Structure 1
Amino acid sequence: MPRAVPIYSLYGEKPTEHTEFWAHAETIFSRSSLHSWEIRPHRHERLFQILHIRSGHGEALIDGHWHPFGARTVIVMPERQDHGFRFSRDVDGAVITLVAKRFAAELQGHSGLGEWLRRPSMTPMPDDHPDSRYLGESLDRAEQAIVQSGARPAPLVEPLLRTVLLLTSRLAGAERGQGETDRDRERLAELTRMIGENFRTRLPVEHYARRLGMSATHLNRITRALVGKPVSRLIAERIILEAKRDLVFSALSVQQVATRLGFEDQAYFSRFFAQNAGMPPKLYREREKALLES
């Protein structure tokens, strides 16, 4: 029998009948560091969350699939949606938790927004988009106002959060229509599945685009819009994720790890790993094992 997905108020805390707050904010570090940087699948009743990823990266479990995200991303998670997260150790960001009904009526009047808010979303904040800086500043100010004002957030919080959700939906392209957005999400989910099956063979972007019935340019446009990254980056991140697991949790040599991942040249693998992980594989293994033993 499948294991039931737990229901929490905040992650790790059982729900209560009477919520003392309508808005809560905390750093991602403060809770995820207590759980080895992984928030296991769960859901919230009557609450929805906004995650502001300032730096670092990770994966979000949405609709049963893990989707990668990077720095400068806004994740909106509606109530009653099963979800989970995996964060890098260097993640910097915040989680804002809101009572869902507080905003439902006020935001339904905005075209397309009510429907958009009923589904989870991951929205990158591109450096070249005019709304990105204002959105990031609004998220920071909302977080600070909630933390400073305690259980009864100041009046400034509500307009800030409305602005955050409206700007995020605009960046996410909600005006394109839910049908097109849903199709792109389905394509991204299928791409993620295919990469997971084939990353060891290091197939080119064009291979995945052909299987999805589109050009590589179009596929890159979809992945950049939904997760802020080109397909090549998604492939590289999946390879690096597997390499990190092998380096930390197996006794395989660096050469053996490289071979398992389709690299004939260990030196090339080491350069590839260092470019994507910030350090050579041997140093990464030593650092992570030291952290596990501490």
Structure 2
Amino acid sequence: MHCETIVSRSSTYRFEIALHRHESFLQFLYIRSGAGDVVLEDGTITLQPPCVVVIPPGPAHGFRFSRDIDGLVVTIATRLVREPLRSVIDDALGRLSDPLMVPLDQDTADASYFQATFARIVTEHQLDTPQNDILLELHVAAVVVMLLRRALPTPGTQPETLAELRVRQFKDLIVRHLRDHLPAEAYARQLGVSPTHLNRMARLVTGKTAHELIMDRLMDEACRELVFTGYSIHQVAENLGFSDAAYFCRVFRSQIGLTPKTYRDQEIARMRNKEV
């Protein structure tokens, strides 16, 4: 996760940032004051400060800011976050595919909350203590939940289907048993369904097989540890339940397309040089 002022980044580009896209970053821009536009391929979104702009991974976007722009940008590497922020972001990305601006009414409780929470995010980002990462992610999770509540329809307006319930329970079990390397059949037994039925529900809800969901979650945790901890490759493998670091490296490369060391080096370099 990275946090900086909008001025510190946009001034380098004379306050106009050309169209670009982030394939794996989720961004929040908190705009206190000033003026500008979010530039999209098919139009623009005019900023209405105070407001929060959400940029999900994928869409091409750019920005035009006035020189008196005052605000912050928080950038999150989506696959590297932990629970509970992980579940919150998964929910947000499942309901949000395009950039979104959420205006905040002046002098309201919500506006004050966002201002105070983004201030805390900046503070926690600047600290270097064992607990600050946890507080930082909890503050961001609160921001995401508040934005979803204000801007998007409540999922409760449509009852959760049985398949959605089972897949949600399946994902919870994956997190609980991640380091046990259970096969899909073992999860199916715990859920009281056949492996074939679990696969069918997983494909219906997510477009992926049960095994793919297990591997995705395992690789997400591997990527997070590689980027955000100083553990050796051997330690990361051991933390994730692999008794053989060489086997872990083979599995990681087959899933991610890079060796763990190359992935770590590239992601750290990207986070140091990311654009708004």
AA aligned opposite 1:73: C
Q: Secondary structure at the match of 2:22?
A: coil
Is the aligned partner of 1:136 residue 2:115? yes
> Which ranges in structure 1 are unaligned for 5 or more consecutive residues?
1-22, 179-294
> Which ranges in structure 2 are unaligned for 5 or more consecutive residues?
158-276
Q: Secondary structure at the match of 1:80?
A: coil
TM-score scaled to structure 1, two decimals?
0.47
Regions of 4+ moved over 4 Å:
none
Alpha-carbon distance, 1:157 to partner: 0.5
Is the aligned partner of 1:76 residue 2:54? yes
Structure-1 separation of matches of 2:156 and 2:18: 31
Q: 1:109 to 1:27 in 2, by over 3 A?
A: closer
After superposition, the C-alpha distances for 1:152-193 in whole angstroms (9 at most, x for unaligned) are 952100110000011112222433999xxxxxxxxxxxxxxx
After superposition, the C-alpha distances for 1:225-264 in whole angstroms (9 at most, x for unaligned) are xxxxxxxxxxxxxxxxxxxxxxxxxxxxxxxxxxxxxxxx
Q: 1:158 to 1:174 in 2, by over 3 A?
A: same
1:166 aligned residue:
145
2:154 aligned residue:
175
Identity fraction in percent: 33
AA aligned opposite 1:48: L
Superposition CA RMSD, Å:
2.8
AA aligned opposite 2:105: P
AA aligned opposite 2:150: L
1:38 aligned residue:
16
User: Is the Cα–Cα contact under 8 Å of residues 17 and 62 in structure 2 kept in the other structure?
Assistant: yes
Structure-2 separation of matches of 1:40 and 1:153: 33
After superposition, the C-alpha distances for 1:179-232 in whole angstroms (9 at most, x for unaligned) are xxxxxxxxxxxxxxxxxxxxxxxxxxxxxxxxxxxxxxxxxxxxxxxxxxxxxx
Structure-1 separation of matches of 2:111 and 2:155: 19
Q: Secondary structure at the match of 2:64?
A: strand
Q: Secondary structure at the match of 1:149?
A: coil
Q: Secondary structure at the match of 1:174?
A: coil
2:180 aligned residue:
none
Alpha-carbon distance, 1:57 to partner: 1.3
TM-score scaled to structure 2, two decimals?
0.50
Aligned length: 154
Alpha-carbon distance, 1:148 to partner: 3.2
Structure-2 separation of matches of 1:177 and 1:61: 32
Is the aligned partner of 1:87 residue 2:68? no
User: Is the Cα–Cα contact under 8 Å of residues 16 and 63 in structure 2 kept in the other structure?
Assistant: yes
What are the residue-to-residue correspondences of 1:46-195 with 2, within 5 Å?
Answer: 46-101=24-79, 102=81, 105-107=86-88, 113-127=92-106, 129-149=108-128, 154-175=133-154
1:28 aligned residue:
6
Alpha-carbon distance, 1:64 to partner: 2.2
Structure-2 separation of matches of 1:83 and 1:114: 17
Structure-2 separation of matches of 1:47 and 1:166: 18
User: Is the Cα–Cα contact under 8 Å of residues 50 and 95 in structure 1 kept in the other structure?
Assistant: yes
User: Is the Cα–Cα contact under 8 Å of residues 24 and 147 in structure 1 kept in the other structure?
Assistant: no
Structure-1 separation of matches of 2:35 and 2:95: 24
Alpha-carbon distance, 1:116 to partner: 3.0
Structure-1 separation of matches of 2:150 and 2:72: 19
AA aligned opposite 1:164: V
User: Is the Cα–Cα contact under 8 Å of residues 89 and 144 in structure 2 kept in the other structure?
Assistant: no
Q: 1:149 to 1:97 in 2, by over 3 A?
A: farther
Q: Secondary structure at the match of 1:76?
A: strand
Q: 1:119 to 1:98 in 2, by over 3 A?
A: same
User: Is the Cα–Cα contact under 8 Å of residues 56 and 93 in structure 2 kept in the other structure?
Assistant: no
Alpha-carbon distance, 1:136 to partner: 2.0
User: Is the Cα–Cα contact under 8 Å of residues 59 and 69 in structure 1 kept in the other structure?
Assistant: yes
